[in-house]
Amino acid sequence: MKEEAISVARRLMEDFPKSTDAMGLMGTVHMRFRDTAEAAKWWQKCIEQNPRRADAYHGLARIAYTKGEHAKALELWHQAQQINPSLPGTYGAAAQALLETGRPQEAIESLEKEIRLSPADDANYYLLGQAYLQLKQYETAAENYQKAIEIAPTDSRAYYGLASTYARRGQADKARQCMEEFKTIKAHEEESALKRLRGADDRTWAGRILAQTHADAGNLCAMHRRPKEAEDHWRRAAALDPGNRACRQALIDLYRTSGRPREAVAIGEHLRQIDPGNPTYHLNAGTVYAELQQFDAAEEAIRKAIELKPNLAVGHRSLVRILLIRNRKLPEAKALAQKLVELEPSAPNYSLLAEACHRNGDVAGAREALRRALELEPGNTKTNKGAKEPAQQK
């Protein structure tokens, strides 16, 4: 499978000889197979062709860090950040190196930037806890360990950090309790890791890498407007790795934009099954069902998305449109539209509220909503930019 992955990257370099994206992917493929020397060679070539490739500097920095070359790694991460200040991962990785070289204040500054880019990553808060622990600011350290635990309750590291913090504050009972929780979770982590090692083999591991390579190749082909080749790569990635979400989402987007919603349905349902807690997948499935005029299924999926994320404006907008298309549950459509403009007070959303009010016979409400829409967007002369005329139900 390594040979196939490298072959995919090599073919992309032949197809797109001027593309540093193909060179970068070759470096990434070698890095995934832990061939750091080859990865470094390709990322260096990538930089020679395009010195503005922040991701290549990031890759080289990771290699330097694994070799214990912290100063070199930090310099490379700094170069990546100068080129692309919004590249996730660079600030958190640099913070780890800064902590290991006894520079906690600089690590905090770096982590604050990383958190703005990746606010849901528990590792950033764990590292903040470590930094404040080094500075002996125990209360702030404990707060950040707690945030890490809230995001990832089954990650043992933050419990150990919290136990250390309580111990240094003289809170022996709390320290003991956290240490017991750490031991329990750590034992579970080790048991799970052992089961994975027993149940997995090199072929499974390589198959996932190959799948991600095909997924990345599909993205590159799509960027160069080769949709058929992109589809082939994404389908191969999906076949190799049932858990790969990115390639499936890419296929859904491709099928929708190319007028093939029926092909998107099965993939959308698969995503809902493998990650039922993700509102985006339910919303996407609902959108595809609506395009197929399968409104019961569309309504069910979108309601699930809203249940998971009650303040999801796009979910409220989609559900209002479906109810108006069906010309049913009109009082609920109006209530949802009112909630929508609270969440996102835009001209199109006020226009949608105006339509919902009109369908409910609320003339005054419709006029007020239209007035607000025109205030926000004076050129908006349409009564409703999003809703359609009611469809006849079969």
Q: What is the pTM for the complete model shown?
A: 0.74
Query: 283: which 2 tokens?
Result: 């919303």
What is the C-alpha R_g of the chain? 26
Residue-wise pLDDT for 187-206, tens only, equals 988 887 666 555 555 567 78
Q: What is the pLDDT of residue 10?
A: 93
Q: Could you read off the pLDDT of 52-81 as tens digits, one per residue?
A: 999 999 999 999 999 999 999 999 999 999
Q: For the residues of 154-201, what is the DSSP string, one character each?
A: T-HHHHHHHHHHHHHTT-HHHHHHHHHHHHHHHHHHHHHHHHHHHH--
Answer for the pair 36, 63: CB distance below 8 angstroms, yes or no. yes
What are the residue ranges in the chain where pLDDT is below 70? 193-203, 380-394
Structure tokens at 327: 């010309």
Q: Helical H runs in 201-294?
A: 202-223, 227-240, 245-257, 261-274, 279-291
Question: 2-202, what's its fold?
Answer: 1.25.40
pLDDT of residue 321: 95
Q: Would you state the pLDDT for residue 381?
A: 55
The predicted structure's pLDDT at residue 382? 53
Domain definitions of the chain by residue range: 2-202, 203-340
CA distance linking residue 96 with residue 288, whole number of Å: 43
Q: What is the CATH number of domain 203-340?
A: 1.25.40.10
